[in-house]
Structure formats: structure tokens, C-alpha cells
Structure 1
Amino acid sequence: MTIFLLVIIYLAFISLGLPDSLLGAAWPVMQSDYGAPLETAGFLFMTIAGGTIISSLVSGKVLKQFGTGKVTCVSVLMTAGALLGFHFAPSVVWLIVCAIPLGLGAGAVDAGLNDYVATHYKAHHMSWLHCFWGVGATLGPIIMAQFISEENSWRNGYFVISGIQFALVIILLFTLPLWNRVKKNSNIPLNEETEDSKSVINDVEAKDVKPLQIKGVNLALASFLFYCGVEATVGLWGSSFLVNVKELPVAAAAGWVSFYYGGITIGRLITGFITFKMSNRTLIRMGQIIALAGAALLLLPLPSTFSLVGFIMIGLGLAPIFPCMLHETPTRFGKKHSQTIMGYQMAVAYTGSTFMPPLLGFIASHSTIGIFPFCLVVFVAAMLLSSEKLNAFLTKKDLLKRKDTSSGSNLIM
């Protein structure tokens, strides 16, 4: 029963990834059909991201009231309807209208499923969960490209992916009872670091405090902000850097950026197995160091081939960071607040991916795209610093807790 529900969750994450890369793949044809300016795609992206940020922020309360299963089912229904709306949209205005439920649905699914897996399953499942998101994000453009090349119809591409989402809604509807059963029967520890985690969790849950008042939450949010800033910045500006600075052909540059995404997807698949031997905290640190080394490699005046190595290193380095940080949430801050904090983390993550790449683009337009690797190094270094400060704080807190416990035991003796 637990495994069956996990399969459903994996399918839901594939469906979460499917729409994420559709707009970019279809926009060249959509722009021509609507006679819209190029920057309209940016407005659509911002609308979707805005909806995602809002739903992530309120997801804690919604999930507590209705449960993860129901919220996931309704949210996927919203995204399916929005994608169907894209298929029928007669104008850009209608695309913007449909982009709102698309973003709102995605944010709730993301926050809800991440928290559910972090709370009820072990760390390797979180890495594989985000690997399946990569599968969906890869399949979306492939499906769209097939319809554009054969029928020159982006609308049919949206229609088919909408159909896949509606099929998932039916599956989710019939499996709703499973969510509560697995929740009741789940006795999986929050992660393998049981001794370290218990003291932090019990200390946090013993106090009736608001999630944002818990010490260390701001450092966790900063880590998510800079992580997604790095991930999205490489995806958006990596090709431009390779073309304008390294003087690669456009097609070759696009291919090299695809290796970066391949590094993330394959890295997360591998990370799922490594979690059996290493803790989340170690994997996060190792990933950040590898990503920092890859970003530093882009800074050096080396032949362009080394840039490919740098992109792959950044992808492999980023692979374990996001899923492992998510899985650490209930361990760091307690199960009582994990749903709400997970929503905040997803909101800040989407904020990073929405605003940090355009900020770099704005600066580059007034200087040069050559600042790309410098910004990456700064972003990764800031993420590493925030993460390590949080680790130091939690370690110190745990030591103090153990001292208090030890003192109490001595007094009793």
C-alpha cells in the first residue's frame, strides 16, 4: 500500500514537471499565431510564478485543513483545466487568465508532496521524486515538438498533456483513502540522523511559536533562494554566455546546457542510492562544493571544452541539494511546523528562480554577459554560507540540549 501510494506520488511529480518547460518550447509558434511581442512569454511566466508563490505561501493552512491527498487532487485538476484553457485560448489575454490557475495548482502540489515525502518516506525517495520531475520536464518539450513538427499545432500538444493530467486526477480521486492509511501506519524516522534530529524536533515542537519565529528558518529560506537562483540562472543565461563569451555556435551552446540539465536529473537518480550511505547534511555540503568548483571553472581563461565540464559539474553539484534540503525540513524544524515551513521554502525558491535570473540579465544588458560566472560563484557561495551557518546553529543547539539532559540525569543520581 505504501509503495503503491509512492508510485502515485511519483506520477504526480512527472505531471508537475510536464507543464514547466512547455511554454518555452511552444512560444516561437504561439508568438507567430497570436502576433504577440517576444516579451509576452515573460509576462506569462511571471503570472504562473506569481500564482505558484501565492499558493506555496498559503499551502500550510490549506494542507492542514484538507489533507495532502485532496489538495493534490484539486491542484492537479486546476493545472489540467488551465492547460486545456491554453489549448482553446483565442487571445493572449486568455492565456494570462489560464496562467493563474496553472501557477496556483503547481505551488500547492509541490509544497504538499514535498512535505508528505519528507515526513513519511526516507531520503532516497525525495531524491528520486525530484528525478521524476526532471523526467516530466524533459518529456513536455518532446511531446510538444512532436506535434509542432508533424502538425504545426502547439494547441494539440497542450491538449494531450492536459489529457494526461486529467487521467492523473481520476487516479488520485480513486486513491484518496490511501493517503490517511499510509499516514497512520507510517513509522519511518525523519531521517537516518535520529540522535541529532530528536533533540531539535522535540525542542521546537515543545514551544508554541510561529514557524517564521523559529531560529534558523531564515537561513534555510536564504539557502533555497540562492539555490533556485543558481539553477534558473544557468538554465536561462548559460547558452548566451557560451555564445557571446566562449564564441560557440548557438546549436552547440544549447546542447551543452542540456548536459547541465542531464547532470541534475542523473545526479538525483544516483543521489537516491547514495543516501543509504550518507546523511542529507553531508550530501548538501558536497553538492555545494562541487557546484562552486564548477562555477569557478567557468571563471578561468581556459579552452571552451572546460566550460562544458563546468556546466556538468554545476548540474551534478546541484542535484542532491534541493531534495536533501527539503527532506531535512521536518528534522530541522519539527513535524508540527514542517507543512507551513515547506510552503515558505517553496515560495522563496520560486521567488529566486523568478527574479534572480532577470536581475542578472538587467545588469548584463548594461555591462556584459561575462559577469555570468561571477554571479554564479557569488550565488553558490552565499548558499553554502547560509547552509553552513544553519548547520552550526543546529549542532550548537543539539550540544546544549545534550548538556541540559546530562545535567538533569546527574542531579537525579
Structure 2
Amino acid sequence: MYTLLLVIIYIAFISLGLPDSLLGSAWPVMHQSLDVPISYAGMITVVISIGTIVSSLLSDRLTKKFGTGLVTVLSVLLTAIALFGFSSTQSFSMLLIFSIPYGIGAGAVDAALNNYVALHYASRHMNWLHSFWGVGASISPYIMSYFLTGGRAYTEGYFFVSLIQIFVTFTLLVSLPLWKKPKGVATASTEHYEPITLKDTLKIKGVLFVLITFFGYCAIESTTGLWASSYLVEYRGLPADIAAKFASFFFIGITGGRFLAGFISDVVGDKHMIRYGSLIILLGVGLFMFDYSSHTMYMISLIIIGLGCAPIYPSIIHSTPVNFPKRYSQSIIGIQMASAYLGITVMPPLFGFIVSVSTIGFFPVYLLILTGFMLVFSEKLNQKLKLAS
């Protein structure tokens, strides 16, 4: 039972990653097909993120009422419906409508599963599980690239991924009995935790700093995932199908990095994993700033950025029940998810605005600023927790 449940959680994490990188890899073609400016990608991410923020803030109550398993099933089903909608319309306004279930589906399951793993598994498992998110995020750009390279429509790529999500939904549905009383592991629904308001959460020492750090990290990840392909096409002159493949290497870096991080995270510790990851991101972005005659260097730079990103998200989540009272962990993680998706809501569209009034060439500089911002507040969090202990 225990092993089978763990396999199901791995599948759920793959499902979480599948939709996250589709828009960025498809957008260089999508905006032309839809006849909208390239900056409009930010509008879609705003709608998705608003839905995610709302469902993240409600995740503690939803999980306590329905249980982690059912919340996961319904959330994946919503993303499947949204992706099918993306595949069946050529209207930008309809894409915005389908972005609503897209976001709602992502938020609740993200918070519920992350809290479940943070409470019941070691740091290495959190990294390995999130590497499976990277598997999903790495696969979907390849799927999109396959259809684009074959001269077919981006809508077919979305349709194919929606079929995968439907299959995952069915798998999760038949697994529901495992979530009720898994042998050897207490479920999140039986774990004692208390919902807490946003106002009271912000009064807990260090919470504000971890929220800002998470905001900064997800701003980096989402901005890179959304705009890297467009930057390579519009500013560096790469073909759209090659740029879509290269964007997947960012997620491959995240996936491989989290797999490797699982072997050392329990020894190094969450705090140091976040610090070292931030420094590696700075190295990768620095390399990405230069003009290369060989396209390979852009791929290498994106892999390095992904490797730096790899341990940050799981380390922030895993350290939550350690840094703050366990009884509030579900609520705090839900609010962390909301803060993270606020970063996704605000920062990629902000770069879209910058592109509309200047040039997409500022992309690497923008990433450097975000990484510095995240690193500063991560260190402030460490200082705050040290003083409080």
C-alpha cells in the first residue's frame, strides 16, 4: 500500500508539470496564429495565476474536508478540461476563459500534495518527487516541438497533453482507497492541523520573508519558462521548433538537478540548498547574456539555470514544518503557494510590458534582478530564524 501510494504521488507530480511549460514553448507560434502581440502571453498567465492563488488559499479547508486524494483527482480533471479547451479554440478570449480552470486545478493540488510530502517524507523524497514534476515539464515542450516540427498545429500538442491528463485523472480516481488509510503512513486528512488567516500567518516570525523568497523563485522559474523560447526566436534568431526544444532543457536541468539533490539534501540541509541554487542560477543567467555562434551554449546556459532552480522550491516547502509550527503547515504552505503564484501573476506579464515598450533583449538582465531579489530575502529569512531560535 505504502509503495503503491508513493507511485501514485509520483504520477500526480508528473501531471502537475505537464501543463506548466506548454504555453512558453508554443507561444512563438501561438501569438502569430491568434494574431495577437507577443506580450499577450502575460495576460494568459495572469488569469491562470489568479485561479491558482484562489485555490491555494482555500487548499487547507478543501483538503481537510475532502482529503488529499479527492482534491488531487478533481484538480487534475480541471487541468485536462482546460487543456482540451486550449486545443479546440482559435480565439484569444476563449483561451482566457479556459485559463480559469487551468489555474484552479493547479493551486489546490499543489498545496495539498506538497504539505502531504513535507509532513511525511524526508527532504530527499521531496526533491525526487519534484524532479518528477520536472519530468512532466520537460516532456510537454518536446511534445509541442514534435507537432510544430511536423508542420502541424500547436492545438494538436495541447490535445495530446489533455489526453495524458485524462489518463492520469482515471489513474488517480481508482487509487482513492489508498489515500484513506495507507499502511504505515498517516494521511494528510488525519493529520492534526489548524487553518489560520493570512493576517495571523504574517505575524509568525519569518513568514513574510519566506513568502517573498517564494515569490521571487517562482517569478524566475515562470519567466524563464514563458519567455526563453521567445527570446531565442526574436532576439537570437533561432528557429521556433529549435527554441521550443531548448526551452525544455531548462526543465531538464530542473529535473536532473532535483534527482541529484535528493542524494545530498539531507546532508547539506534546506538552507544551504537554497543558497547554492541561487548562486548557480546567477552563473547560468550570466552565460545566457552573451551572443554565441553556436546554439549549443544557449542550451547549456538554460540547463545550468535549471540546475540552480532545482533544489529551491522543494527545499522551501520541506523546511516549512521545521521552520514554523507543524499544526499550521497546511495553511502556511497554501499561503506560500499563493505568494508563489502571485510572482507568476505579476512578473512574467511585467516583462511582457517591458517587451512591448522596449526589447526582449532585456530578458537575461531581468532574470538577474529577480535572482538577486530572491537571494537577499532568503538570507534575511535565515537571519530571522536564527535570532528567533
TM-score, scaled relative to structure 1: 0.78
Distance in 1, matches of 2:86 and 2:244, equals 27
CA-to-aligned-CA distance 1:66-121 (integer Å, 9 cap, x gap): 22111111111222223333344474444333221121011111111111111111
Q: Which residue of 1 aligns with 2:95?
A: 95
Instruction: Spell out, residue by residue over 1:243-287, the C-alpha distance to the aligned partner (whole angstroms, 9 max, x if none).
Output: 788x66557776665543332221111111112432112211221
What is the number of equivalent residue pairs in this alignment? 380
Tell me: CA distance 1:290–1:183, structure 2 relative to 1, closer, same or farther (3 Å). farther
Tell me how far apart the structure 2 counterparts of residues 242 and 49 of structure 1 sit (CA, whole Å): 25
Residue 287 of structure 1, aligned match among 256, 277, 292: 277
| Offset at residue 329 of structure 1 (A) | 1.2
Q: CA RMSD in A?
A: 3.6
Q: What amino acid sits opposite 1:263 in the alignment?
A: G
Describe how 1:277-356 pairs up with structure 2 within 5 A.
277-296=267-286, 310-356=301-347
Native 8 Å contact 2:42 2:349 kept in 1? no
The CA deviation string for residues 172-224 of structure 1, in whole angstroms up to 9 with x for no partner, is 2222232232497349xxxxxxxxxxxxxxxx99x999323211111000101
Q: Is the 8 A contact 1:283 1:321 kept in 2?
A: yes
- Kindly provide the amino acid, as one letter, of the partner of residue 110 in structure 2: D
Aligned-residue sequence identity (percent) comes to 49
Larger RCO: Structure 1 or Structure 2 (Cα < 8 Å, ≥ 6 residues apart)?
Answer: 2
Structure 1: runs of 5+ lacking an equivalent? 188-203, 399-413
CA distance in structure 2 between the aligned counterparts of 1:108 and 1:6, rounded to whole angstroms? 19
Q: 1:360 deviation in Å?
A: 3.4
Looking at structure 2, the residues matched to 51 and 62 of structure 1 have their Cα atoms a distance apart, in angstroms, of 15
**Separation in structure 2 between the aligned mates of residue 34 and residue 378 of structure 1, nearest angstrom:** 32
Show the counterpart of 2:253: 263
Greater shift in the superposed pair: 99-108 or 296-305: 296-305
Instruction: Select the residue among 207, 210, 222 that pairs with 2:212.
Output: 222
Question: Any residues of structure 2 matched to 1:13-412 within 5 Å, and which?
Answer: 13-26=13-26, 41-89=41-89, 91-147=91-147, 152-182=152-182, 185-186=185-186, 210-238=200-228, 249=238, 257-296=247-286, 310-363=301-354, 366=357, 369=360, 371-398=362-389
Shift in Å at residue 321 of structure 1? 0.8
- Displacement after TM superposition at 1:171 (Å): 2.2
Query: Matched residues in 2 for 1:173 and 1:244: separation?
Result: 43
Structure 1 pair 363–91 and aligned structure 2 pair: CA distance change class (3 A): closer
Q: Which amino acid aligns with 1:122?
A: A
> Cα distance, 1:158 vs. partner?
3.5
Shifted more, 166-175 versus 220-229: the winner is 166-175
What is the Cα deviation at residue 11 of structure 1? 0.6
Q: Which moved more, 1:14-23 or 1:317-326?
A: 14-23
Distance apart, 1:370 and its partner CA: 5.4
Unaligned 5+ runs, structure 2: 188-192
**Preserved contact between residue 239 and residue 250 of structure 1 (Cα < 8 Å):** no
